[in-house]
Amino acid sequence: MNTTVYLDNNATTMVAPEVLDAMMPFLTERYGNPSSMHGFGGSVAKDIERARQSVARLIGADHDYEIVFTATGTESDNMAIQGALAYYRDRRHVITSRVEHPAVLSLCKKLEKEGYRITYVPVDHEGNLDMGVLKEAVDDDTAIVSIMYANNETGVIFPIDEIGLFLKERGIPFHVDAVQAAGKVPIDVNRIQCDLLTISGHKFHSPKGIGALYVRRGTRMRPILFGGHQEKGRRPGTENVPGIVGMGKAAELALTHLPEYAGRVSALRDRLENGILALFKNAGLNGNRDRRVPNTTNVGFEYIEGEAILLYLDGQGIAASSGSACSSGTLEPSHVLRAMGVPFTSAHGSIRFSLSRFTAERDVDHVLAVMPDVVNRLLDISPYWDSEKKEGRPITL
Ligand code: PLP
């Protein structure tokens, strides 16, 4: 499959060439186990510590040892929430939002079955968190609040500084899923005042299968995995050394490229978005335009199916993502768009384009060039669109 235009960077990113170079020695000659007594293995431990420093710098952590390497963002999210619950055994309430990633929501559903009380904070039609509900929900029984920094589907950024301050004053542990923020916007765990923060390497140009959890010094939690002494017993298992070294290099690069995201990438995203919105009167933006990560746009096309748009785009060598998930034979709009109350007619036709620093002007030109044909062809065969009158038909569900 020869994809020429990759606009699905919120799903995963390409490994940066410098990251691959940094990893190569650890996939070839430097394969020793960092826990070994001999120098061949033991010397690798220093490279892990260097990577830990780079990751700590990316998120503004005070101490390197506040970084625990894990396998994925999913694992870090689970470790944060389950680790806090394992410590606060007498507290049975968890607060999260309705639009979290399944890494958090599926866990919360499981906890609910086990008798935990879960508050799912709603969002408004632009994807903004209802802070009133969140603040009201906090009580003495709350073990942890887990809220994402930026949403993976819309890119909308939540007011995590305000949440952090509010929870700090009440002594409630705060976990932030920053998987979609790392490498796109500056992160500072001391500004947020969070206790725990998740990042995942493959979203910022290191390989898949490496993540990290920031654990503020003094945070009360227990491990959820049991085994050796790696990561100071907080996350046992022989280290993924190439992944860790790669993530360290990617973190270094991400810091230096942050201004490019605020500038060039954001401008490119806006050009793509404005171009699409200007082309079609049946297209609208999903999410708050002003409070978003700079690489993401989510556009809803009324009367046509997102999956069909994706297939046509795929045929043109363009990789993007849709806001719907095909489940059990029915096309269900995503839980994020549903929580935002996006109307049926556009939720089904929602497409997410997510850029990276490797996205070029010509990529956006290509999308804008092929979009009219794609959308017009799909409108012509849409049962919800009257091609003669050029308007939507009433929909009966
Ligand atoms: N959290 C968010 C917001 C995500 O977007 C993702 C992945 O898409 C994850 C968690 C899970 O990360 P990983 O793929 O590393 O398990």
Q: What is the pLDDT of residue 317?
A: 96
336 lines ligand 1 (CB under 6 A): no
| pLDDT tens, residue by residue, 265-321 | 999 999 999 999 999 888 999 999 999 999 999 999 998 989 999 999 999 999 999
Question: From the centroid of its chain, how far is CA 141?
Answer: 28
Q: HEC states along 9-44?
A: CCCCCCCCHHHHHHHHHHHCCCCCCCCCCCHHHHCH
User: Per-residue confidence at 330, pLDDT binned at 50, 70, 90?
Assistant: low
Please tell me the distance between residue 381's alpha carbon and the centre of ligand 1 in angstroms.
35
Please name every residue paired with 301 in a beta bridge, in sequence order, or none if there are none. Answer: 283
Nearest ligand 1 atom, CA 77? 10
User: Per-residue confidence at 328, pLDDT binned at 50, 70, 90?
Assistant: very low
CB 323 within 8 A of CB 298: yes
Pocket test for ligand 1, best of 8, 10, 74 (most atoms within 8 A of CB): 74
Mean pLDDT for the stretch of residues 42-60: 97
Q: Is the pLDDT of residue 327 over 60?
A: no
What are residue 178's phi and psi, to 5 degrees? -105, 25
DSSP 158: P
| pLDDT tens, residue by residue, 375-397 | 999 998 888 888 887 788 766 65
How far is 336 from 351, CA to CA, in rounded Å?
Answer: 13
DSSP 300: E
- Coil, strand, or helix at residue 54? helix
| pLDDT tens, residue by residue, 357-380 | 999 999 999 999 999 999 999 998
| pLDDT tens, residue by residue, 71-105 | 999 999 999 999 999 999 999 999 999 999 999 99
- Coil, strand, or helix at residue 49? helix
How far is 213 from 216, CA to CA, in rounded Å?
Answer: 10
Q: What is the pLDDT of residue 383?
A: 83
Dihedral sign from CA coordinates of 78, 80, 81, 86: positive
How far is 332 from 348, CA to CA, in rounded Å?
Answer: 8
Q: Comparing C-alpha atoms, which of 93, 118, 92 is closest to residue 105?
A: 118
Q: In 282-333, where do the E strands start and end? A: 283-285, 296-301, 318-319, 321-322, 324-327, 330-333
CATH superfamily, domain at 5-11+258-392 = Aspartate Aminotransferase, domain 1 (3.90.1150.10)
Half-sphere exposure of 210 (CA within 13 A, CB side): 29
The β-bridge relationship of strands 93-97 and 283-285 is unpaired
The gap between the terminal CA atoms of the chain, to the nearest Å, is: 37
How far is 385 from 393, CA to CA, in rounded Å?
Answer: 5
Q: What is the pTM of this model?
A: 0.96
Question: Quick one: tokens of 307?
Answer: 């999956």
200 lines ligand 1 (CB under 6 A): yes
Please tell me the distance between residue 198's alpha carbon and the centre of ligand 1 in angstroms.
9
Place of tokens 């939690």: 221
How far is 338 from 326, CA to CA, in rounded Å?
Answer: 14
108 tagged catalytic: no
CB 153 within 8 A of CB 352: yes
Q: For residue 261, how many other CB atoms are within 10 A of its CB?
A: 21
**What angle, 0 to 180 degrees and rounded to 10, lies between the N-to-C axes of helices 361-380 and 306-315?**
130
Q: What are the sequence ranges of the domains in the chain?
A: 5-11+258-392, 17-254
Q: Is the pLDDT of residue 70 over 80?
A: yes
| pLDDT tens, residue by residue, 223-250 | 999 999 999 999 999 999 999 999 999 9
Q: What is the pLDDT of residue 322?
A: 87
How far is 34 from 47, CA to CA, in rounded Å?
Answer: 9
292 lines ligand 1 (CB under 6 A): no
153 lines ligand 1 (CB under 6 A): no
For residue 50, give the H/E element and its range.
helix 44-58
Nearest ligand 1 atom, CA 151? 3
Q: Is the pLDDT of residue 332 over 90?
A: no
| pLDDT tens, residue by residue, 180-220 | 999 999 999 999 999 999 999 999 999 999 999 999 999 99
| pLDDT tens, residue by residue, 127-178 | 999 999 999 999 999 999 999 999 999 999 999 999 999 999 999 999 999 9
296 lines ligand 1 (CB under 6 A): no
72 lines ligand 1 (CB under 6 A): yes
Q: What is the pLDDT of residue 323?
A: 63
How far is 397 from 385, CA to CA, in rounded Å?
Answer: 15
For residue 69, give the H/E element and its range.
strand 67-70
Mean pLDDT for the stretch of residues 39-45: 95
CB 121 within 8 A of CB 132: no
Catalytic choice (311, 325, 326, 395): 326
Q: Comparing C-alpha atoms, which of 30, 32, 34, 108 is closest to residue 69?
A: 34
CATH placement of domain 17-254: 3.40.640.10
Pocket test for ligand 1, best of 203, 206, 292, 352 (most atoms within 8 A of CB): 203
Q: Is the pLDDT of residue 347 over 90?
A: no
